[in-house]
Structure 1
């Protein structure tokens, strides 16, 4: 069965956003006089959207404060301040350390040239996702772009994958999801779609039950039976 639609995750799959997210998290924590987290710690918090990432960062930071102070920081007002500071940093010119993974742009271009449709599903909110995609010249490839606040639910809910299928009037067997987390696998499988797991992202090497594992995004071409050099589809499976 030929694959007609590739549905991509964003953070940890197309773009390494961890450096900017870590800087934004630590900027927000500093405003509340909280200790910073390492890049490795923040990488493990990415995947459920900005507010979840900030909330988990705050929870880790609480280990270094007294109980009464921790209680104060847990109030809604503190989270609102943290989110405001996080957004202020991430949407500023200071957030400039995100990089597109090797092979992503050429692979997307090759798939597009072969007539394969491309869609994007991310738990990143629209106000963060669209500037990031535009900054790296990726927005033009994807239709639709489904962010964490685009629909009534986000990954791992299958609605995000189903929305992409409906947009292109395709059946589940004609699509594949490419992502770096269990949320991607769960959303894909709940919608009846295969999921290819990239192990270089933020989910680590051991995510349960993907249909295949990729070590680089460009391996997607070979997995789908595509010859990048000749722009020829050998046999999509």
Structure 2
């Protein structure tokens, strides 16, 4: 019963990965390669489940498949890694973009194929042979998964540094924009001042010039004896 439940969980992981593959855009060959391998994985797991369901008594090899670090467990780990990479991304555009590089797909598909070969081998019902084969392939298959995981972590780290560099460049651009904005405001202020001065000068040029000295000399030249005498002789002035 426990083996059947484990198989169902891994089969559901296959379906999740297939849904993610269909939803994203990317290199057709790489997507098709991962899709085909995952679909084959689902088919083989269902076949394995049927073998268990049709058996009256649990077979020895089904107990072996329940142990930690067996093909079924490692297959679940590989599919979980793929599902996480395909699903945990921010933004719609990022979620629709194919997240794997070609060499990453090669490692992932190879890891799935190796584990599926072991599951297929389990269907031979030979528990002794299965244990020997498990021991032989354990290190190699485990290394494939570790290489795939390390490659993903390295890409995440590089992405982090790239984002830091991009943030620094954006800060420099922002500073430059602020300097340009300040310069524009300064030029605008100078332009407004010059425009005001020109407007004032046009007003002054429009007004008729007044020469007060000339007016004074003109008034003096027209003075005659007795001019203003009436004011000096008036009672108001005398008082």
Q: Could you state the TM-score of these two structures normalised by the residue count of structure 2?
A: 0.22
Q: Which has the larger radius of gyration?
A: 2
Structure number with higher strand proportion:
1
Say which structure, 1 or 2, has more relative contact order (CA 8 Å, 6+ apart).
1
